[in-house]
Structure 1
Amino acid sequence: MKRRLRVGLLWHTFGHPNLGVDALARANSALIRRAAAMAGIEIRFITLGTPTRPGIDVPPDVEIGPHPSIRQALRGRSRFLAEVRNCDMVFDIGEGDSFTDLYGARRFAFQAGTKLAVLATGTPLVLSPQTIGPFAAPHHRALATSILRRAKAVHTRDHLSTEFAEALGVRQVKEFTDTAFALPYEPPGPKGRPRIAINVSGLLYAGGVSMRLDYRALTHSIIEAFSAVGAAEICLFAHVNGTNPPDTDEPAIDELARRFPQTTRIQSFTDSTAAKTFIAGADFVVAARMHAAIAAFSSGTPVVPIAYSRKVNGLFAGLDYPHFVDAQSDDLERATTTILAAFQQRQQLAQAVAVGRRLAEARLDAYVDELALLLDQVVSRHPNRIHEPA
């Protein structure tokens, strides 16, 4: 008898223009797959949430499922609900940081509504490691609290989210780390001259986040400073693609490449694995997108993240890595000095990265152990439905 499970991947989007979301989908499904193998379970996935673009490479055990539609649900013909009912378990990663009302009521409604739909079907809901909150509106906080308390398990990726969830009275919360640390990549080949890779955030460059640091001025400052040294190739790369500013990084990078012709504009990547492979070949990275920083860190590359929100500070502080710019408190002079000093001390940064990587790997090992237990519990409770002839 072969033990089998059909697992829903809620808000896991393969091929998302934000490569961080793509990285979460690929890495978390790989970790669930690893846990299933440990438990002796054959697993099949179906995605639930943002649709995948055509032509995207998707693992063979992943089926691309439906996008939730309120109109269909009201008509009683919701394919989303039908697919949820056919799942034995649903893992929801919330695209990393979307379970909050920071991005507006509509986005919160979609995040909360889909979670409530899963709970309403009786399908076990597990929140995979992600940022939880904040919820500014009292009615949003009350609804989120109800969802979190009813979930089978709640997993966070940083201590701030853990403390926030516990303050809401969530007892089944466990802290691990960002699953994107497990994203695979191709090891770099032989290197020539040193390569400085600067990940530019179009959102921050357009002033889309309220913070003390003048990010546009900082970007100009470090490009000019590295150009004056002249010993390294300066590469500009995106980690959010597409044509919808300010969410995309590409227009800002194109502008910078015209302004600083001595830089190399890296062609945009089709998926997060390709991006991480490039990042792994750099000698030093400045990353404004959190998952670009994670790609560097988890491939052993010295990196200075630009921490513009608590999700970034909490994640890297939790890995004993203090080498980041705090965009909410640092001014231009301090941020520039931090980055240039880090470049000069990149061997020491590499040692700190190695220590942090071991911490992240240990936490992901613990996460896989937890997943294996959860998957086994579902199989054990429904033996007639799950156990089929091989």
Structure 2
Amino acid sequence: MTKPFRIGLAWHSTRSSNLGVGALTVGNMALASAAAMRVGLDAQFVVFSPRETGPPYVEDVETRVIDGRYMTSRKGFLADVGNLDIMLDIGAGDSFTDIYPRKRFLYLWGTKALTVARSVPLIFSPQTIGPFTKVFETRLAAWALNRAAAVFARDPLSFAALKDLAPRAPGFQVIDVAFALPFTAQPKAEEKVRVGLNISGLLYNRGYSGGNEFGIEVDYRALNHLLIERFAAMPGVEVHLVGHVFAPNQPRDDDGATADALAAQYPGLVRAPHFTTPGEAKSYISGLDFLVGGRMHATIAAYSSGVPVVPISYSRKFEGLFGGLGYKWLVPVRGLSTEAAADYVIDAFERRAELATDIGKGLKVVEQGLETYIAELAMHFAAAAARRP
């Protein structure tokens, strides 16, 4: 019997309350499985993630919880990574940066350093790279990037950051793996237009601290109230509140609590279900006619299922990703007033056929990016398998 090819998945999650992280995990597993199959390998996954308490939406995988004791124990991460054939580290999608506390960065960097120390090939799966502005973190980041077998940036801005940090690193610009998230397409309503509002609890509550640390210029709360009122007043339009992060133990970050409050304030809105898997969320979104989204992976779910979408950006990861697809339809972090942003979204809704055409063009870029990633993974998988004793 052929020995399974053991693939580590660092900073993925099988049960995160943030379905965007789940979408990364399920999408990356699908792409890695396709790459392994292409070179005749039987993929077996080990997921390394922070402690999560939600129900699992990925079965039949080994899981490890990253914490201080596990990372420093000889029988912990170092031992487990030594039993792998290769490590795919996705950095939770957007966490390989110094904009978060140093402790968090050191955990992110530590998985990479210990993987390199065990001579296990390290792959940076498609993710945001940077920004880096602090000398200490910048040097550590460059060290890890230069020792990777391959680095995949999911957008042009991240690829430029990679080339600035580590110009000799084997880098590729591809696309977010969540575009590969499987789903079941839902039928459209025949006699109504379904408009989805994916309202981020985090942005609605002005960030983790309440001080708008993301620096967005629109009043996000006021913007969504305007959109609810304007869409609800349109004949034949049905407004759906669509959450993508369900974290009752983190009320400032919980889309579900925000949706419940708005549904109570505005009778007649449709409160979408509490999704338990990222595939459920994407399937639901596929049945909408239009989506306005504050969570990036909710907007990716819409885009990749052909639903006209207007993302509300709160960081450069939005501009980088959608800019790389030639998709101009988003509310930027800065540059629009709240009223102007509402007008922009309504205009996009009226022109949603044009948005759908632009999505059709961009999906060709998505397909090419995913194929590049699969082909490169297949090559690295084959090389890693050949190095086995």
- Residue 125 of structure 1 is matched in structure 2 by 122
- Residue 284 of structure 1 is matched in structure 2 by 290
Are 1:333 and 2:339 matched, yes or no? yes
- Residue 182 of structure 2 is matched in structure 1 by 184
Counterpart mapping for 1:182-221 below 5 A? 182-189=180-187, 191-192=189-190, 193-208=192-207, 209-221=214-226
Distance 1:97 1:293 in 2: 16
- Residue 227 of structure 1 is matched in structure 2 by 232
Counterpart mapping for 1:46-125 below 5 A? 46-51=46-51, 53=53, 55-60=55-60, 62-64=61-63, 66-74=64-72, 76-125=73-122
| Greater CA drift, 245-254 or 163-172 | 245-254
- Residue 388 of structure 1 is matched in structure 2 by none
SS in structure 2 opposite 1:101?
Answer: coil
Contact 1:302-1:353 at 8 Å conserved across structures = yes
- Give 1:234 shift: 0.3
Contact 1:27-1:180 at 8 Å conserved across structures = yes
- Residue 175 of structure 1 is matched in structure 2 by 173
Counterpart mapping for 1:318-357 below 5 A? 318-357=324-363
Task: Give the AA of the match of 1:312.
Answer: F
Are 1:367 and 2:373 matched, yes or no? yes
SS in structure 1 opposite 2:233?
Answer: helix
- Residue 11 of structure 1 is matched in structure 2 by 11
Task: Give the AA of the match of 1:196.
Answer: V
Distance 2:132 2:252 in 1: 24
- Residue 155 of structure 1 is matched in structure 2 by 152
SS in structure 1 opposite 2:65?
Answer: coil
- Residue 310 of structure 2 is matched in structure 1 by 304
Contact 1:69-1:78 at 8 Å conserved across structures = no
TM-score if structure 1 supplies the norm length? 0.94
SS in structure 2 opposite 1:307?
Answer: coil
Contact 1:10-1:90 at 8 Å conserved across structures = yes
Distance 2:322 2:121 in 1: 31
Contact 1:309-1:328 at 8 Å conserved across structures = no
- Give 1:80 shift: 2.1
Cα separation, partners in 2 of 1:267 and 1:198, compared to 1, 3 Å: same
Give the percent of matched residue pairs that are identical in Structure 1 and Structure 2: 41
- Give 1:117 shift: 1.5
Task: Give the AA of the match of 1:178.
Answer: D
Distance 1:108 1:167 in 2: 19
Aligned residues: 380
Distance 2:70 2:159 in 1: 35
Task: Give the AA of the match of 2:136.
Answer: H
Distance 1:207 1:248 in 2: 12
Are 1:236 and 2:274 matched, yes or no? no
Distance 1:260 1:215 in 2: 17
Task: Give the AA of the match of 2:34.
Answer: R
Contact 1:3-1:379 at 8 Å conserved across structures = no
Distance 1:359 1:94 in 2: 23
Distance 1:219 1:190 in 2: 24
Contact 1:97-1:130 at 8 Å conserved across structures = yes
Task: Give the AA of the match of 2:219.
Answer: D
Deviations 1:151-204 (A, max 9, x none): 111110001111011011242111100010010100113524211010001111
Q: Any unmatched runs of 5+ in structure 1? A: 385-390
- Residue 31 of structure 1 is matched in structure 2 by 31
- Give 1:377 shift: 1.0
Contact 2:126-2:154 at 8 Å conserved across structures = yes
- Residue 145 of structure 1 is matched in structure 2 by 142
Distance 2:357 2:281 in 1: 23
Cα separation, partners in 2 of 1:55 and 1:213, compared to 1, 3 Å: closer
Distance 2:53 2:302 in 1: 26
Distance 1:94 1:71 in 2: 20
Task: Give the AA of the match of 2:203.
Answer: L
Contact 2:123-2:151 at 8 Å conserved across structures = yes
Task: Give the AA of the match of 1:204.
Answer: L
Distance 1:261 1:127 in 2: 46
Deviations 1:335-374 (A, max 9, x none): 1111101111111111111111121011101111111111
Task: Give the AA of the match of 1:179.
Answer: V
Contact 2:50-2:67 at 8 Å conserved across structures = no
- Give 1:54 shift: 6.0
Distance 1:23 1:324 in 2: 21
